[in-house]
A and B are shown apart, each in its own frame.
Chain A
Amino acid sequence: MSFTLEDLKTVSNLARLDLSDEELAQMVGNLNKVLESFRGLQQLDLSGIEITAHSVDTHSVWREDEPRNGLSRAEALSAAPASHAGLFLVPRIIE
């Protein structure tokens, strides 16, 4: 089963990528080649091997529950494209 143009449109929408028809057509071909390579990998027998989610062999890295200073509100809002009354302004959202 190959990766269709529709699949690509769904994925690019999820990733908020605005791709032109040309780019979409080109990428469908490229992504199908990438998937083909993975199909080769999937033929390897990996039973009994634990999934590697992390490349570094470390675990249970905790932080004690102690407060630390963060940013002032002015600092926090300084990078916001728009703010009002201490709030980050975003495009109108209807629930």
Chain B
Amino acid sequence: MGFVVSVGMEVHAELLTKTKMFCGCPNAFGGEVNTRVCPVCLGLPGSLPVINRAAVRHVLATALALNCSIARRSLFHRKNYFYPDLPKGYQISQYEETNPIGYHGHLELPTGKRIGIKRVHLEEDTGKLLHLPDGRSGIDYNRAGVPLMEIVTDFPPDIHSSEEAKQYLQYLRLTLIYLGVCDGKMEQGSLRCEPNISIAEEGSKSLGVKTELKNLGSFKAVALGIQHEAERMEAAVAKGETLRQETRGWDEKAERSYPMRVKEFESDYRYFPDPDLPPMKFEDAFIEEVRNSLPELPTARHRRYTSSFGLSDYDAELLIAEPAWAEFFDACVNKGGEPKAVCNWMNGDFAKMLNESGTVVSESRITPDHLADLVALVSSGQISGKMAKEVFETSFATGQMPRDIAQKQGLSQLSDKEAIRKIVIAVLNENADSAQKYRSGKTGVLGFLVGKVIQQSSGRANPQLVNELLIEELKR
């Protein structure tokens, strides 16, 4: 009997703004505890929140990128709970089906598969609880009030495997990075993912009870956590156990999940519109202005690279992994670089050199002009592929243009027929026995002779010309 796994994804993204959601405290990572706080984010009496326009714009851009409907009128609600990570006794969030800034959208993966998005809403992040060695708990409110975007997938879910979940998260993360709304750093917690997993017998109409998985701090943890959870549920059902709805934490070291203590009355948040915050209204002009400012998104880019340039899925994925990397590629192509060749250099030698030197593309001495120049030198036959590697290394180290390096080092490929012919004749004289073998029908020695000529030319002779001229001279 087979099972169908269904995965719903709840993703929280801290927005890249200068200040917090409802106050002017800086939005930053790290630093001394409780140094980015004010009466608003500490929930002191008499303080009033004011909406950060940049955060709203970020959510609007994301909602549009995810093909969402945009709420014409959108409210903030209070989500009430007592927990010291938020000092007000409530979190400002957005509730209801069509009230969030964006709702009813989808993210399309390069495979063409669409993952339905239920809503994209704006809220505030919570403070950080720190457990002291003596058993007490302390709180740092630096993160309290940082703009937080929540993106929730549709129900019933479109995702049916850990691999699909990982791909969704990967493309969602890239989309946010391309939009410039989130840095996507899972290890710093600026992008957090809480999947819920259920299994059902094939053909069954119900989806089964859900497990929510927390503490997934990396892509690997997300994929592994979902896979393990589905397997754990299947094993439990096979043993005749009844699954219950629960929240489980992921232990990254042990690679297993464990049950978490559930907060009492967790679901009773008593949402109501926040009277401190007037509604937001989005006019057509504002929506269109944001829509027109959207960059080319990763899925579209992936598709362009594979369909227009004939690159493999693998190559396209490597190129779009970072906006700066993809832009470098596009710039090289715009300067006339042959796409496949540019791609091979970038995902091969260039990536390796950057990696080894611990630099990123924006800091490198290699510009799109350099790489386009190198690719042109090779494709026009002026230097060989082997020489190009040396030239590229020098260019990487010094920032000199490949063309200049090739000239200075005399690395230009020898394509002068008469110059090559001289070497060919000399080689044939030195290897008269091999020449004799060829003439008597043992044509296999040709490769040996070609190698000799190229060696004599210090590797500069154009192999194709050497071949032609050798045959010509041997038949003379």
Contacts and interface: CB of A to CB of B under 8 A. Distances in A.
B50 A87 contact: no
B273 A65 contact: no
Contact of A60 (B19, B137, B268, B278): B278
Interface of B: 17-19, 23-26, 32-39, 41-42, 44, 50-56, 73, 75, 80, 82, 84, 129-132, 135-141, 249, 260-261, 265, 268, 270, 273, 275, 277-281
B57 to A, nearest CB: 9
Contacts of A76: 34, 37, 42, 141
Contacts of B135: 92
Q: What interface size band does chain A fall in? A: 35 or more
B37 A71 contact: yes
Contacts of A90: 84, 137-139
Highest count of chain A CB atoms <10 Å: which of B33, B41, B42: B42
A86 B142 CA distance: 11
A71 to B, nearest CB: 5
Given A84-B138, A88-B34, 20 more contacts: A13-B265, A14-B268, A16-B82, A53-B279, A54-B273, A54-B275, A60-B278, A63-B50, A65-B52, A65-B53, A67-B26, A68-B38, A69-B38, A70-B36, A71-B42, A87-B140, A90-B139, A92-B136, A93-B131, A95-B129
Contacts of B275: 53-54
Given A62-B56, A68-B24, A95-B260, A86 B279 contact: no
Contacts of B42: 71, 76
Contacts of B80: 14
Contact of B278 (A16, A59, A65, A72): A59
A34 interface: no
Interface in A39-95: 53-54, 56, 58-73, 76-77, 79, 83-95
Secondary structure at chain B's binding surface: helix, strand, loop or mixed? loop
A82 B70 CA distance: 45
A56 B261 CA distance: 43
A89 B280 contact: no
A66 B50 CA distance: 12
A61 B278 CA distance: 7
B33 to A, nearest CB: 5
A10 interface: yes
Contact of A67 (B24, B132, B141, B280): B24
- Give me the 6 closest cross-chain CB pairs, A-B, nearest first: A68-B24, A87-B138, A70-B38, A53-B273, A65-B54, A62-B53
B138 A85 contact: yes
Contacts of A62: 50-53, 56
A76 B39 CA distance: 8
A2 to B, nearest CB: 20
A94 B37 contact: no
B194 to A, nearest CB: 14
A44 B25 CA distance: 46
Contact of B51 (A16, A63, A84): A63
B137 A70 contact: no
Contacts of B17: 65
Nearest to B273: A53
B246 to A, nearest CB: 14
B84 A93 contact: yes
Contacts of A70: 23-25, 36-39, 41
A64 B55 CA distance: 10
A82 B140 CA distance: 13
30 contacts: A14-B265, A53-B279, A54-B275, A59-B73, A59-B281, A61-B278, A62-B50, A62-B52, A62-B53, A63-B50, A63-B53, A65-B18, A65-B55, A66-B19, A67-B18, A67-B19, A70-B41, A73-B35, A76-B34, A84-B136, A86-B32, A87-B33, A87-B130, A88-B138, A88-B141, A90-B139, A93-B129, A93-B137, A95-B249, A95-B260
Contacts of B141: 76, 88
B261 A95 contact: yes
Contacts of A83: 138
A60 B74 CA distance: 9
Contacts of B273: 53-54
A92 B137 contact: yes
B46 to A, nearest CB: 13
Contacts of A79: 44
Given A14-B270, A73-B34, A89 B24 contact: no
Contact of A61 (B39, B41, B51): B51
Contacts of A53: 75, 273, 275, 279
A73 to B, nearest CB: 5
A65 B58 CA distance: 12
B39 to A, nearest CB: 7
B218 to A, nearest CB: 20
Contact of B18 (A58, A66, A89, A94): A66
A4 B7 CA distance: 39
Nearest to B25: A70
A88 B127 CA distance: 11
